[in-house]
Amino acid sequence: MDTALQERLHLALLSQRRAFEAERMPAYGVRRDRLERVLKMTRQHGEALAAAMARDFGHRARQESLLADIFTVESGARHALKHLRRWMKPRGVSTPLHFLPGRNVLMRQPLGVVGIVSPWNYPYYLAMEPAVAALAAGNRVLIKPSELTPATSELMARLVTEHFKPEEMQVITGDAEVGKAFTQLPFDHLFFTGSTAVGRHVAQAAAKNLTPVTLELGGKSPALVDRSCDLDLTASRLAFGKLFNAGQTCVAPDYLLVPREMVEPLSQKILAQMRRMYPRIAGNADYTSIATPRHHARLQGLIDDAAQRGARVLRTHDEQPGDRRLVPALLLDVPPDATVMREEIFGPLLPIVGYDQVGEALAHINRGDRPLALYWFGQDASARDHVMRETHAGGVTINDCLWHLGQEDQPFGGVGASGMGSYHGEWGFRTFSKEKPLFIQSRFAGTKLFQPPYGATFERLLALLKKII
């Protein structure tokens, strides 16, 4: 590893750690001020950030950036400001009868210095949303954004420098080598959003320092369509959920499970809805490009591989955009060994798999890794509840896609290979806090009766305790 790089990273960490040690429990006013600066920075520079993201992607719909990256951070900061005082307050916890008149209190204490590694697909939101939680909890924050969005990363670094002291929050830009070195720092908590493959390496690097990690990963998130669904509504919402950010979303529906007799009609309705939303692909300002040439080539390779194995490829448009905008496609009759059925897609391709009985669909889901998201479409509540009981997923949206991600009053996170830990709202505050249990003993406690020398009194008291617990 480059010695100068290693020294630069350690100095940044040391500066923040010293600042934290001088202020281990920031007051409510200090934390509120930091959150208000995040909010001000986001509001003032939202358009500039959206423009930077468009440059990084080749083209990104301005409205998608303003909704998914800018509004979401504003929403998270406002939610934290509204609830911060309550989150910080030590809370009484019930105390068993045999420990009275002592009492239990739970104190939430900041961890120290938090490292955040953010990805390219939502480059501002996935850096700043965990930062909001870490700052609310009273921590210092170092952020390593993706090297694949250099314009956004550089702008974010400049904005953070203008609004925060480096010992409060700092953005460290650089390539993959910088990212690797970053994850090896002895943070008090490391938060990573990205692929499952890279997440495994991050967890291994953090383990060497016994650094706790939150891993927000991905996987193949299924959408299960029930026979009781409204086909038109389902098609519209699936089309939006799949094509938002051109499918480059960790919780995008990765494949559909559809009753076999409904595959053809639903496919045609989805195609129609995609064409309604995007009447053309070439030059359409509403339709986002694939972020890099490498990702574009990978997605085209998935289509080619599926077609060579006998899949039917239904494209929304007969055109060649000539840039990195990729024409959306539905893939039918895809064999299970096709690459598109084994890897997370992260693009505007949607395989549709038919089933006869719901048990087949559940078995298909449960054979794979536990996904980050699961979607269910239908009106039959008992069928819905059966699916919820029989599957695991990081989160669920019923009769729509994506929107569970925006709930600040619910935890967001993966399970199994799709991640560990959660954040958003109070769950983010707790992730970046040490919940320290305090037992406050009373001067009138009878615990002296349990002190040696032991004898008949101890035996009688122990027998009494066994009866009352």
Residues 329-373: tens digit of each pLDDT: 999 999 999 999 999 999 999 999 999 999 999 999 999 999 999
- Exposure of 299 in the CB half-sphere (CA atoms within 13 A): 26
For 142, the 3-state DSSP assignment is strand
Residue 163 has pLDDT above 70, yes or no: yes
Per-residue pLDDT at 448: 87
**122 and 245 in contact (C-beta within 8 Å)?**
yes
pTM: 0.95
Nearest one of 298, 272, 289 to 326, comparing CA atoms = 289
For residue 315, what is the enclosing H or E element?
strand 312-315
What average pLDDT does the segment 283-292 reach? Answer: 97
Which residue matches tokens 């929403």?
A: 75
Which residue matches tokens 């905008």?
A: 325
Per-residue pLDDT at 468: 85
Per-residue pLDDT at 266: 98
Nearest one of 87, 91, 189 to 137, comparing CA atoms = 87
469 — pLDDT class (breaks 50, 70, 90): confident
**229 and 325 in contact (C-beta within 8 Å)?**
no
Average pLDDT over the chain reads: 96
Nearest one of 140, 145, 135 to 69, comparing CA atoms = 145
Which residue matches tokens 């409205």?
A: 63
Q: State the sign of the Cα–Cα–Cα–Cα dihedral 219, 296, 191, 413.
A: negative
Q: What share of the chain is helix, strand, coil (3-state, %, to 5)?
A: 50, 15, 35
Which alpha helices (DSSP H) does 368-442 contain, by range?
A: 381-390, 425-431
Nearest one of 281, 231, 287, 291 to 256, comparing CA atoms = 231
For 69-114, the pLDDT digits (tens) are 999 999 999 999 999 999 999 999 999 988 999 999 999 999 999 9
Residue 2 has pLDDT above 80, yes or no: no
What average pLDDT does the segment 51-79 reach? Answer: 98
What's the rounded Cα separation, in Å, for the pair 163 and 450? Answer: 57
Per-residue pLDDT at 449: 87
**174 and 149 in contact (C-beta within 8 Å)?**
no
What's the rounded Cα separation, in Å, for the pair 54 and 46? Answer: 12
What's the rounded Cα separation, in Å, for the pair 263 and 332? Answer: 9
Residue 1 has pLDDT above 80, yes or no: no
For 257, the 3-state DSSP assignment is strand
Per-residue pLDDT at 198: 95
Q: For residue 242, how many other CB atoms are within 10 A of its CB?
A: 27
What average pLDDT does the segment 156-165 reach? Answer: 98
For 332, the 3-state DSSP assignment is strand
What average pLDDT does the segment 148-158 reach? Answer: 98
Residues designated catalytic: 216, 250
Is the model more confident about 457 or about 160? 160
Per-residue pLDDT at 6: 87
What's the rounded Cα separation, in Å, for the pair 425 and 428? Answer: 5
Angle at 163 between CA 52 and CA 159, to 5 degrees: 15
Buried-exposed string 248-262: b where 16+ CB fall within 10 A, e elsewhere = bbbbbbbbbbbbeeb
**390 and 230 in contact (C-beta within 8 Å)?**
no
- Exposure of 381 in the CB half-sphere (CA atoms within 13 A): 0
Going by their DSSP bridges, the two strands 140-144 and 113-117 should be labelled as parallel
